[in-house]
Structure 1
Amino acid sequence: MADTASAPARSTLDTVAVAAGDPDREQPWSELGLKADEYERIREILGRRPTGAELAMYSVMWSEHCSYKSSKVHLKQFGEIPQETPIGPMLAGIGENAGVIDIGQGYAVSFKVESHNHPSYVEPYQGAATGVGGIVRDIIAMGARPVAVVDPLRFGPLDADDTHRVLPGIVAGVGGYGNCLGLPNIGGEAVFDETYLGNPLVNAGCIGVLRHEDLHLAKASGEGNLVVLYGARTGGDGIGGVSVLASETFDADGPAKRPSVQVGDPFMEKLLIECTLELFRAGVVAGIQDLGGAGLSCATSELASAGDGGMHVHLDKVPLRDSTLSPEEILMSESQERMMAVVEPGDIAAFLAITTKWDVEASVIGEVTETGRLVIDWHGETVVDVPPRTVAHDGPVYERPYARPEWQDALQADGAEKLARPATGDELRATLLQLVASPNLCDKSWITDQYDRYVQGNTVLAQPADSGMVRVDEETHLGVSISTDCNGRFAKLDPYAGAQLALAEAYRNVATGGALPLAVSDCLNFGSPEDPAVMWQFAEACRGLKDACLELGIPVTGGNVSLYNQTGETAILPTPVVAVLGVIEDVRRRTPSTFQAADERIVLLGTTREELSGSEWAKVAHDHLGGLPPRVDLRAERNLARLLKDLVGIATSAHDLSDGGLAQALAEAAMVSGIGARVSLEGDAFVGLYAESAARAVVTVDAGDLEELRALCARHDVPMTELGTTGGDVLAVEGQFEVPLGELREAWTTTLPSALG
């Protein structure tokens, strides 16, 4: 038998009847994160003061993390983007647990990126681990089998004590949970900047695969249908967790509030995955919702609101790990590895037989009604009686004041193009070795080697490739590709252009592997929405992302907003992480990112300009941030992507140019493959090597394919420049310098191990 809380004395239970007769009782609304006007609005909705349980529900569901109350007014513009991908209409989009898109052959893919930033600072291992667990359950809830995860990460300076505290735990948490689930980690980033000190970003993404007919949505419909809670028992871990913790700014000396961080159990999650997929196959699920942020408060109110509008729940039937939990604590608990299903009465026996088979505990805790109310009882007494939509969807919406900060003009006027730059071959050589060893450009194997990238046997590309790629069908070799990207330095210089550059880089990375970019998920990480400058950054980033998606012809399928990412008065760099998912018809015909053989021709695609502001060179060589980011040319990005798709089977390798410019791309292609290169550059060699102009890639082809490449470049209106030839064991720039690959690799690979042990 499951533990249940004993019935309290009637005089101590705050029921709806008690609340109606006791209107002036003092309540801890401020301690729960509600504003005075929000508390008054709850009273207006209910026509009385809320009970303690109702107050708990509204407080977590109206938190910034759950309600998006500061961001809704800007996010709604994503609805202006046509809800179809380059190959067909979206199957599920914004508002669902995760987006779902058609990829052909009867297959669909669900994907999404979310944040677990503040919990990962408070408790790095469990914060990161449960971030992975939560995004995986979002994918399961759509009816999809998870097939891969990604992890875009941001940390403070590599040499900072607190980075040494949080980074190992976060990486271990991501790897430990994903590895136990048997999910390959195929992509992500690890970026270091002083603004993330005390506020690391832990974004987690997941891809799942399903057949079209297996799609499931989160709604509770059908009067008399049963509400079943299954998975792990509810405990005291995570009470108020991410829903409150992610809705507050950290003080300079640490979190002012430290709600309990959730504790994950990946082995229970693995059982939950297999159990849920079998429930779907058996056809015994009428509606489903995972329990993540806000726990039962979220699952019950969202399911009821999205369905027929009514639900009656018996909270004392919830299986507990701690029998002393109060109704408020049970509703606020964010204990992990839990799902809620709506089941027709005739299917409940089959449902419970399957959960028993998988040793997954399940309890019928309520039923669907047509009352339009969410009613929750506790040992026969009603402690919640609310219109569910007011909890789940009709929370406060703030039009926060926003304004372009006064310092923005001075920041943009301080361009890096005026900084002293290397002029001799020896100086250019030293710059290359300095950059490849820098924290943001160095080898990330210390991190990625802790992840199983090839479990399940369908991984085609993974780090350090430009994008991750997995096979979906073992017979046809249909596959999908994903890349997550963002340069927060560019977004600080110009948040509109910065968001577009994040999208453009992810779009380009997917294309270099030979995949067709289809759709976007985002994870928008910013500082306090109560700062008009931060809200301006957020508004501009949303506008930029919307405009870029319109021009590229790809939709936003959903995503996540994470605000209050700042310590004291120091906000993080605006970090609109963008994930782009693409499809490839045959993964065997992918294009690798590194050199494949000697005596192949190296060709630069795209136009290089003197664009150094916000670059890694400016950061590493001068600790400088100022000027304007690289120019955004979405037409050029689209043309380049189409060219790269047509080059499948012709190009022997393709690598995008982004952080570190051409020099970094050539160095990575050479170091990973062990094949050197000799190139010559026209004009300013420094600009040619280290500028970070967008819409560029470097490809290699056999000498006999140069004319076909030239013809395709002309057809797609993409400039091409022949650079040189692969081969040897050095990276050489004619007339300037050469570096043995061994020396280059030594600089590239030792940074993280030396710093982290």
Structure 2
Amino acid sequence: MSLPDSDRDLVVDALEREPTTAEAALFENLWSEHCAYRSSRPLLSAFDSEGEQVVVGPGDDAAVVAVDEDTYVAIGIESHNHPSYVDPYDGAATGVGGIVRDILSMGAYPIALTDSIYFGEFEREHSRYLLDGVVEGIGDYGNSIGVPTVRGSTQFHEKYEGNPLVNVSCVGLVDDERLVTADAKEPGNRLVLLGNATGRDGLGGASFASEDLSEDAETEDRPAVQVGDPYTEKLLIEANEELVEADLVEAARDLGAAGLGGATSEMVAKGDLGARIDLDAVHLRETGMNATEIVLAESQERMAYEVRPENVEAVADVADHYDLGFSVIGEVTDTGRYVCEFEGDTVVDVPAIFVADGAPMNDLPAVEPTEPERSLPEAEVEAAFEAVVASPNTASKRWVYRQYDHEVGVRTALRPGDDVALLALRDVGKGLAISAGANPGWTETAPYDGARAVAIENATNIAAKGATPLAAVDCLNGGNPEKPDVYGDFVAMVDGLADACSTLDVPVVGGNVSLYNDSAAGPIPPTPTLSMIGVKDGYDAPPLSLDGGKSLVLVGEHASAVGGSEYLAQMGGTDRFPSLPENPREFVETLATVANDPTTTAVHDVSDGGLAVTLAEMVTAEAGADVAVPDRLALFSEAPGRAVVETSEPRSVAETFEEVAPVVVLGSSTNDGLLRVDVEDHPNVEYDASEIVALRETIEAAMD
């Protein structure tokens, strides 16, 4: 680890002396791209983060939004990209642990996880190795702590080969009386450390996440990857619940990036206060650790709390009950300075706000993205259908989600494999819908419109189950921002996502930025993972599976542009990105109304793979579909803001959408389990349900 010369000069000017070794390391990590968002923070003001439902917006460990006046939902998202390349199992597992603790720090009880994961081409052995380790890490950790993984996405693209992405989000339940924030409250209060002992694992993790992956990263950077212990995390979850219920916590912060130094300096900086930390008091796992190691280690399953002096003993008793480590490591002061002492020496003495929030922002050049030319392949419809439906990007993800316990907690009303997860909030009679993911094919082709499409698609997923979008968090993944073309794509992606969420009236209440996702294979595609939540009365929803014997309509018109589609990824060629709906908010609201109508028996959005995949996923052994489309491209366009609705009253659907979007009659659902597609001027496509299942078992067949 080393502090860049330009940053060192600023630090020297502020301190009027050279920084100590521990100070230099603390500044390097807290001023890293990973912690300080030096290249992205100037862009984030584009997001609308306010709304009457927003209780806590950006800036804390997680956001909090109101479902109703008595029930709040905490939601957060984070990336663990570099660690998951170096050590896929522990990198992914500790990503789960970290985001769960972010939810704990708000006083919330975690109830669900989502995972959005991105790898190189599936045909590569190394991609499958990473997929196997990441899924096992997520599954083992989530299953062990009793938090269900209910939703996510899995994407493959050649540009993730040297740098996979692992983006994990979590939601939890909280209310006004239990709510905790990260800002320290009062001088004289104690700072306590609860959880695992501190070791040397994860040293410099924040700075490691702020640079390109090298060719030897899997060996050279292994010490920067944390090692998780889900059983301690489960104890920490229950201990945190007891502390919050007993009103023993004034403020809380998860020990994540930059470890103890990051968590405690940020807590007091947020409260415009200071702290004195006794590093000798920290309970350690290893002997001989120096001050810098204790300050910056990112050992997992640790929380920092601000506690009133009279409550310290009660907190210690809770820690003892759950067999968790406990240390009183210092106190909040009114000096505004962050001070750490070790073995009789002052090793850190810096202004708290300066170290926590004083990093200078980068002013980087950006090259505006260009739109691709149109060069379409000549492809037989049947061959294209089979290639698209069998693609790992559109194939069944059952191999992934069957490794997750998605029903623990008994709230899961709609299981993985549908458009969203739906959780039953029985105490208030509400359903909480969760959608998560992004499509790198879209944002690589058109960063601005592709990101807009990601937002619209997630909102459409929620509406397809009759819910109304409430709020979203984002994980903005990009390559090396020092490259003007890469940064230009990133800027366009951020603007597109912000504009679409604003148009949808969905506040973006928090998120994460992960840059420097470059490797010897080049930069990743700009990837704006979005995790969106919505609510509805009750927790029943129309499935995506057909019922049979009814009309099938396409809400939204047929599209002919196929830019960014799986069709082009499989068959070759380029094209412009499809046009987006002019009134996405009205579309989403109207689709939710139709989905809740008793005459609607199935709804499924049109997304990856276009109508071909939508219809293939809706067909079952008992219910088929007989439809017609005007041309080959209409079958494969992935234009967002569209859905297929099975209904006994197609005229009613058309009337409901009359002022919002066109409604096209596709055909009808049948009772024979066959999918028949009449493509004008092309041979018809016909498959039975068992043939479609066989096509869609690409991942299952290769990984089992």
Bin for the TM-score computed over the shorter chain: over 0.9
Normalization by structure 2: what TM-score?
0.96
Asked if 1 retains the 8 angstrom alpha-carbon contact of 2:654 and 2:663, the reply is: no
2:569 corresponds to: 619
Mapping 1:5-20, distance limit 5 Å:
none
**Shift in Å at residue 258 of structure 1?**
4.4
1:290-312 CA-to-partner distances (Å, cap 9, x unmatched) read 10111111111101101141111
2:610 corresponds to: 661
Tell me, in whole angstroms, the C-alpha distance in 1 between the residues paired with 2:291 and 2:3.
Answer: 19
Tell me, in whole angstroms, the C-alpha distance in 1 between the residues paired with 2:582 and 2:290.
Answer: 54
1:592 corresponds to: 543
**CA-atom RMSD in angstroms:** 1.7
1:652 aligned to 580, 601, 612, which one? 601
Mapping 1:264-663, distance limit 5 Å:
264-404=228-368, 408-409=369-370, 412-416=371-375, 418-422=376-380, 428-472=381-425, 474-568=426-520, 570-588=522-540, 590-595=541-546, 597-622=547-572, 624=573, 626-636=574-584, 638-648=586-596, 649-663=598-612
Equivalent position amino acid for 1:69 in 2: R
1:425 corresponds to: none
Asked if 2 retains the 8 angstrom alpha-carbon contact of 1:129 and 1:173, the reply is: yes
Equivalent position amino acid for 1:754 in 2: A
Equivalent position amino acid for 1:616 in 2: E
1:250 aligned to 196, 199, 213, which one? 213
2:624 aligned to 655, 676, 686, which one? 676
Equivalent position amino acid for 1:561 in 2: V
Task: Label 1:64 to 1:39 Cα distance change in 2 as closer, same or farther (>3 A).
Answer: same
Question: SS at the partner of 1:167?
Answer: helix
Equivalent position amino acid for 2:332 in 1: V
Asked if 1 retains the 8 angstrom alpha-carbon contact of 2:468 and 2:592, the reply is: no
**Shift in Å at residue 634 of structure 1?**
4.7
Task: Label 1:540 to 1:368 Cα distance change in 2 as closer, same or farther (>3 A).
Answer: same
1:719 aligns with 2:688: no
**Shift in Å at residue 546 of structure 1?**
1.8
Asked if 1 retains the 8 angstrom alpha-carbon contact of 2:423 and 2:432, the reply is: yes
**Shift in Å at residue 76 of structure 1?**
2.4
**Shift in Å at residue 331 of structure 1?**
0.9
Equivalent position amino acid for 2:302 in 1: R
1:52 aligns with 2:24: no
**Shift in Å at residue 171 of structure 1?**
0.6
Tell me, in whole angstroms, the C-alpha distance in 1 between the residues paired with 2:195 and 2:498.
Answer: 38
Tell me, in whole angstroms, the C-alpha distance in 2 between the residues paired with 1:276 and 1:252.
Answer: 41
1:731 aligns with 2:700: no
Tell me, in whole angstroms, the C-alpha distance in 1 between the residues paired with 2:609 and 2:11.
Answer: 52
**Shift in Å at residue 642 of structure 1?**
2.6
Q: Which moved more, 1:638-647 or 1:322-331?
A: 638-647
Asked if 1 retains the 8 angstrom alpha-carbon contact of 2:208 and 2:224, the reply is: no
Asked if 1 retains the 8 angstrom alpha-carbon contact of 2:433 and 2:462, the reply is: yes
**Shift in Å at residue 253 of structure 1?**
5.2
1:9 corresponds to: none
Question: SS at the partner of 2:583?
Answer: helix
Asked if 1 retains the 8 angstrom alpha-carbon contact of 2:563 and 2:576, the reply is: yes
Tell me, in whole angstroms, the C-alpha distance in 1 between the residues paired with 2:641 and 2:249.
Answer: 46
2:651 aligned to 677, 702, 707, which one? 707
1:743 corresponds to: 691
Task: Label 1:569 to 1:748 Cα distance change in 2 as closer, same or farther (>3 A).
Answer: closer
Question: SS at the partner of 1:137?
Answer: helix
Tell me, in whole angstroms, the C-alpha distance in 1 between the residues paired with 2:300 and 2:579.
Answer: 44
Tell me, in whole angstroms, the C-alpha distance in 1 between the residues paired with 2:211 and 2:125.
Answer: 23
**Shift in Å at residue 105 of structure 1?**
5.0
1:66 aligns with 2:35: yes
Question: SS at the partner of 2:619?
Answer: helix
Question: SS at the partner of 1:439?
Answer: coil
Asked if 1 retains the 8 angstrom alpha-carbon contact of 2:503 and 2:584, the reply is: no
Question: SS at the partner of 1:209?
Answer: strand
1:83 aligns with 2:47: no
Equivalent position amino acid for 1:531 in 2: K
Asked if 1 retains the 8 angstrom alpha-carbon contact of 2:70 and 2:175, the reply is: yes
Equivalent position amino acid for 1:335 in 2: S
Asked if 1 retains the 8 angstrom alpha-carbon contact of 2:566 and 2:608, the reply is: yes
Asked if 2 retains the 8 angstrom alpha-carbon contact of 1:111 and 1:521, the reply is: yes
Equivalent position amino acid for 1:638 in 2: E
User: What percentage of aligned pairs have identical amino acids?
Assistant: 38
Asked if 1 retains the 8 angstrom alpha-carbon contact of 2:190 and 2:330, the reply is: yes
**Shift in Å at residue 220 of structure 1?**
1.5
Asked if 2 retains the 8 angstrom alpha-carbon contact of 1:512 and 1:641, the reply is: no
1:227 aligns with 2:169: no
Task: Label 1:569 to 1:37 Cα distance change in 2 as closer, same or farther (>3 A).
Answer: farther
**Shift in Å at residue 457 of structure 1?**
1.0
1:38 aligns with 2:7: yes
Normalization by structure 1: what TM-score?
0.90
**Shift in Å at residue 82 of structure 1?**
5.5
Tell me, in whole angstroms, the C-alpha distance in 2 between the residues paired with 1:38 and 1:439.
Answer: 45
Question: SS at the partner of 1:212?
Answer: coil
Tell me, in whole angstroms, the C-alpha distance in 2 between the residues paired with 1:262 and 1:456.
Answer: 28
**Shift in Å at residue 516 of structure 1?**
0.5
**Shift in Å at residue 465 of structure 1?**
0.5
1:156 aligns with 2:125: no
- Structure 1's unaligned 5+ residue stretches are 1-31, 423-427
**Shift in Å at residue 722 of structure 1?**
4.2
Asked if 2 retains the 8 angstrom alpha-carbon contact of 1:107 and 1:211, the reply is: yes
1:547-567 CA-to-partner distances (Å, cap 9, x unmatched) read 222211111101011011111
